[in-house]
Structure 1
Amino acid sequence: MAYIDLGVDEKTAPGITGPMRYRPETAKPLNELAEVLLRAPNTLPPGERELIAAYVSGLNHCAFCCSSHSAFAAAQLDQGMPLVDQVRADPDRAPISAKLRALLRIAGAVQISGREVTPAMVGDARALGASDVEIHDTVLIAAAFCMFNRYVDGLGTFAPQDPDAYTASAELIVRHGYGAAVSTATG
């Protein structure tokens, strides 16, 4: 049970959904940020950006965000959940591009502290083909998901244990984006 009364049934409004329904005026800009970072046109595919969010959420031990963004990534990556699981377990051995591996190193550093990102990490990512926008967005995805993870866990929200519970949300997000989450959160 959430630490405060969110005014929702936590089983039908798990994780971040409950707090977003509780405060729709904060839900709107948070969902807009997620939409821009994870789905807006970018040279980094949405599935890879969701993978960065899932990776950081896993490092933060945020069960809801890790599970949901793992499902969102899997729904958009040809290799699906097996690849997501490999990346989360060991990005250095996962079958991903060297560029994505370098970006995940940057995201992992941000998860610890923004000061953990080094010029060498950025240089490595650039040398492997990452653009400055991709580096920027990786840092911001990692930082934003540290905030989202703390928001969800700081309020003690419910996270379903069954991975299938995240499938419907993944379909909704992939099809309609985070803007659909705003109308769901406010309606």
Structure 2
Amino acid sequence: MPHIPLPDHLPGITGLLEYRLDTALPIRELTQILLRGESTLTPGERELIATLVSARNQTRFCTAAHTKAADLLLGEDETARLVKQDYETAPVSEKMKALLAIAARAQNSGKEVTPEAVERAKQAGATDREIHDTVLITGLFCLYNKYVDGMATVTPTDPAYYQQLGERIMKGYRRPEKGFPVRPTT
């Protein structure tokens, strides 16, 4: 049960963002820029970073949501699962393995991102911006994970919910123009 009253029909981060539209706006915009904006990393690759961070933080809602978004964007459902198990053996490029290693280090502590980890990524072809964005996506998803878990939001268990959410996330992170539908009363 959430620590504060939140809309029942908007579980996870969505209800929290609707609770404070003023704070939600810059968070959503930053997420849109980082995960859907111009980048040499594909949206699917960026969702893999969000998935790994959320899984390592053990935030079930975010893990399920971003796993499904990654699956849809990648067109298959094995890569995200394997990244969560062991990104070093997952079927991703050496550059992505190095960037995921940076994300794993930053998720634990920003101070764990060593010059050697950065050099590995550069040797695998990562640009300075890709390294920067990996660390920023990691920090952003640590914020989301702590927000969702710290407010004890509802975490649906129905996979169909995450299918719909993943489809919405694929399109981006901005709030729908007319907001979210209000749950009809019975």
Please tell me the TM-score bracket, short chain as reference. over 0.9
Distance change (3 Å), C-alpha of 1:183 and 1:94: farther
Mapped pair 1:179 → 2:174: yes
Shift of 1:181: 5.1
Aligned equivalent of 1:3: 3
Q: Which runs of 5+ in 2 are unaligned?
A: none
Cα drift, residue 173 of structure 1: 2.2
Q: Aligned to 2:147, what secondary structure does the other structure show?
A: helix
Aligned to 1:77: 74
Aligned amino acid, residue 49 of structure 2: I
User: What does 1:93-108 align with in structure 2 at a 5 Å threshold?
Assistant: 93-108=89-104
Residue matched to 1:92: 88
Q: CA deviation at 1:162?
A: 2.3
Residue from 42, 49, 54 that aligns with 1:52: 49
Aligned: 1:24 with 2:28: no
| TM-superposition CA deviations, 1:112-142 (whole Å, max 9, x none) | 1000000000000000000000000000001
Q: Are residues 1:155 and 2:155 paired?
A: no
Q: Runs of 4 or more off by more than 3 Å in structure 1?
A: 180-187
Aligned equivalent of 1:123, options 105, 119, 125: 119
What secondary structure, in the 3-state scheme, does the structure 2 residue paired with 1:105 have?
helix
Give the structure-2-normalised TM-score. Answer: 0.93
User: What amino acid is the match of 2:166?
Assistant: A
Aligned partners of 1:97 and 1:150: how far apart in 2? 29
Q: CA deviation at 1:184?
A: 3.3
**SS of equivalent to 2:165:** helix
Unaligned 5+ runs, structure 1: none
- Is residue 2:177 matched to residue 1:170? no
Query: Is 1:20–1:185's contact at 8 Å kept on the other side of the alignment?
Result: no
Identity score, percent: 46
